[in-house]
A and B are shown apart, each in its own frame.
Chain A
Amino acid sequence: MRSKARDVSGRWVLPPVRLIGATALLGWLIGSAVGMTMASNSGSNAGGYNTNPHICDATMNSQCAANGFAHRVSLGSLPSGSVMRSAMLAAMGIIDDTMSPDLFDVVEWPTSSADVNATTGNFGNTGWWAYGACAANATYGGSDPLRWCSLQIITYNMTHPSNWDSSTTGRNTVACHELGHTIGLRHGIPDRASCMRNAVTSPAALHSHDDATIANLYD
């Protein structure tokens, strides 16, 4: 009878330890899931899945937001006719079209006044396919979670054996991922079909969760 919350006289009695433990476990599991779902996955100095927060600064893993809703992207440093120019144009279209109605206007822009500049190079077997960082002479503004830097530079490593560029999908996914970082998107959880997963096998598309968190961030 100890397993019942009330005894025969109708008074509250202590539940068994195992029941308390099971309840705690259930609460923990639900809380963990809620925490993961609630994680903003967007903004400056904001962690994403498997990624802790890093301030928006001059380091190689800084996390910044976009400098306004007009996201001006320069392709001027990409070789003419290069595969990455095509991939960047595709990624710009993804963000321009997928985000909540007209939240971002992603446009190709002259390098001299752009917010983002895309570059490629042969950096050898580095262990990374691409990364984004603030330029050395970047301007900083705003405050968390909307602290930004401009110019942001995306760098693609075209060296074999980091041959992620062997397919259009792979290139577009990496471009979508890096450009997503520049508007403040952080890494997404594996079961969401989004380029913000940290894997080249992810689709070259954004998930509705990406859209929702970004809309919440900038609204």
Chain B
Amino acid sequence: MTDLRRLTGLPVLALTFVVAAALATAMSTSSPSASAHDTSDHFWRIVTPNGMAAEEYVDPAHMAREADLVVIGRVESVSKGREWVAAPELLDDPFGQERAYARFATVMIRVEQVLGQTAFPVRKGLVPVEVFLHRPEVLDDLRNNVPGERAIFALRNKGADDSPTFFRLVNHAQGVIREFGDRAHLQADVGSGFENVEGVGFAILVESMRAARAEE
């Protein structure tokens, strides 16, 4: 009769190592599966550029300290925003014409809590956040997929050189952290310091960002 213990010992260690390595390798190279937050993911994805961001943060605490305004709220509405000619020389260029305009949608955030602010007080509980539309039809897509969940929004005021009325996400991927089932859900393209935040308790994350802001 085979002694069960002959199947253990070093073989167990070897098997443990191989399984752990295989799982980690697979997770490092795999894509996320579909989920209940697809509508919200879509909403934020279609206004996230495949390009180089102007700001990037090492973790949520860093982002909370550096943002002009950090709030918890929900998207209340989406409307057509500002529009201007960004590149006059492209207006008659058949191959660049679609990039001649700067077009925005205004995403109105209903604020529930302010975690931190720098000289930009929230008025009437609403914050207007601009998102860039690389094509005009993206506006309808946004309107058809308005997310309903709570989220932390880390915002940058667009400033006197642009418009102090409006804010933008400090970083298109990092700047909105959403709550699903009391857990934090991030956009796909966040930095390495944000990866461990996915799935943590939303309330815990809120308090850590509030504390980071208070440490300033």
**A interface residues, Cβ below 8 angstroms from B:** 5-6, 11-15, 19-20, 23-32, 34-36, 38-39, 47, 49-54, 58-63, 74, 76-77, 79, 111-112, 114, 117, 119-133, 135-136, 151, 153, 155, 159-162, 164, 174, 177-178, 181, 190, 198-200
Contacts and interface: CB of A to CB of B under 8 A. Distances in A.
Nearest to A30: B21
B166 to A, nearest CB: 9
B163 to A, nearest CB: 8
Contact of A153 (B98, B171, B190): B98
A32 B28 CA distance: 6
Contacts of B54: 126-129, 162, 164
B51 to A, nearest CB: 3
A164 B56 CA distance: 14
B96 A77 contact: yes
Contacts, number: 233
5 contacts: A20-B16, A34-B25, A52-B31, A76-B93, A133-B49
A106 to B, nearest CB: 18
B203 interface: no
A35 B26 CA distance: 7
Contacts of B28: 31-32, 34-36, 38-39
Contacts of A136: 98, 135
B208 interface: no
Given A27-B21, A77-B90, A121-B100, A128 B169 contact: no
B188 interface: yes
Interface string B91-134: 00101101110100000000000000000000000000000101
A31 B23 contact: yes
Contacts of B52: 128-131, 164, 174, 177-178, 198-200
B56 A198 contact: yes
Given A123-B102, A198-B56, 17 more contacts: A20-B12, A27-B20, A31-B24, A34-B28, A35-B28, A38-B28, A38-B29, A54-B45, A60-B138, A119-B99, A120-B87, A123-B132, A128-B51, A129-B51, A131-B52, A159-B162, A181-B51
